[in-house]
Structure 1
């Protein structure tokens, strides 16, 4: 399966995590966020960047998850009804932190907070099977100038 990550060009040559706080992890917990499609990866960036931030030099990372790789799934019915709100970040962070700390799988499939029935895939660089995940290529990516954040 292929997943996608859009990032600034200087970070696009290898699979690395910043350890910054996000929806599914607390600060200091290293997770690589990817999306099921280029379009969802684009939207994830748009909601997190200002309009001027979209003018930077970006790449879309095409990442291969081998079919035999274990993927744990968190479905929306396992979450509170308003899990996607900012006030409930802590609920998602607890789930993600637990997944990371217990190293249950190299990949965690989580629902998109932006589009219902779409999925993001979190990668655990500390999992022993992470080495089986391959960065296939990093393609140039330009946000359409009509996109406003």
Structure 2
């Protein structure tokens, strides 16, 4: 399975520490997780929604990750959490439990900004199979200036 990550290249792109420092929809502060998207456009949208309007750090880089089909991946089902769109605490609890279980290297979840068509793949950097994931070399994101000119 192919996925894409956009993150600040001043830090380790594969550590999951950004999510651990700030928490997110699917993890609590202190829980290391990688938020990736199944499309490059989805990764762009996810980065933009969490960025101040009008600017973005020029230290952002993207990488392509290839998760071998031999590694287990779990898929979130919308009925796993009633009212999952507004229940952020429930989503964090679900993601934290998934991380702790170690049952799979990845968890497919809907992209809130790209729903119902875009999906994200959360990755557990502490899963024993995580080292089998292949990554491209980091490359600078070529941001279209029109994204920031409104």
Fold-level similarity (TM above 0.5)? yes
Distance in 2 separating the partners of 1:136 and 1:57: 17
Say whether the 8 Å CA contact 2:75–2:109 is kept in structure 1: yes
Distance in 2 separating the partners of 1:75 and 1:35: 17
Equivalence for 1:94: 93
Say whether the 8 Å CA contact 1:15–1:135 is kept in structure 2: no
The 5 Å alignment of 1:47-86 reads 47-81=49-83, 83-85=84-86
Assess, with a 3 A threshold, how the Cα gap between structure 1 residues 27 and 143 changes in structure 2: closer, same or farther: same
Instruction: Tell me, yes or no, if structure 1 residue 17 matches structure 2 residue 16.
Output: yes
Quote the offset at 1:53 in angstroms.
4.1
Equivalence for 1:44: 46
Task: Show structure 2 runs of 5+ residues with no match.
Answer: none
Quote the offset at 1:9 in angstroms.
2.4
Aligned residues: 145
1:51-79 deviations in Å (ceiling 9; x for gaps): 34414222111111011111000022433
Q: CA RMSD in A?
A: 1.8
Moved over 4 A (4+): none
TM-score normalized with structure 2 length: 0.88
Distance in 2 separating the partners of 1:3 and 1:74: 17
